[in-house]
Amino acid sequence: MHEQVQEVLNKLRPFLLRDGGDVELVDVEDGIVRLRLMGACGNCPSSTITLKAGIERALAQEVPGIYEVEQVF
């Protein structure tokens, strides 16, 4: 499952990099993906929207068993 999550993040990464940010996969456990937003994404006011509406939705659609994304700092 870890590899599947990383594949999806790699697809999304160009959009984050374009805005000066990036994402790091910290952990995948019991359907919860823990991510660290970096660069401009780390302190962006829209980071919660990016995390929930963008990354979480994409992961839930493409990786069976994923239902939540949490941000770690």
Distance CA 4, CA 58 (A): 12
Q: Supply the pLDDT for residue 41.
A: 79
**Residue that is written with structure tokens 């992961």 in the block:** 59
pTM of structure: 0.90
Ranges of each domain in the chain: 2-71
Q: Does domain 2-71 have CATH number 3.30.300.130?
A: yes
DSSP 72: -
pLDDT by residue (tens digit) across 32-67? 999 999 988 787 788 888 888 899 999 999 999 999
The chain-wide mean pLDDT, for the chain, equals: 92
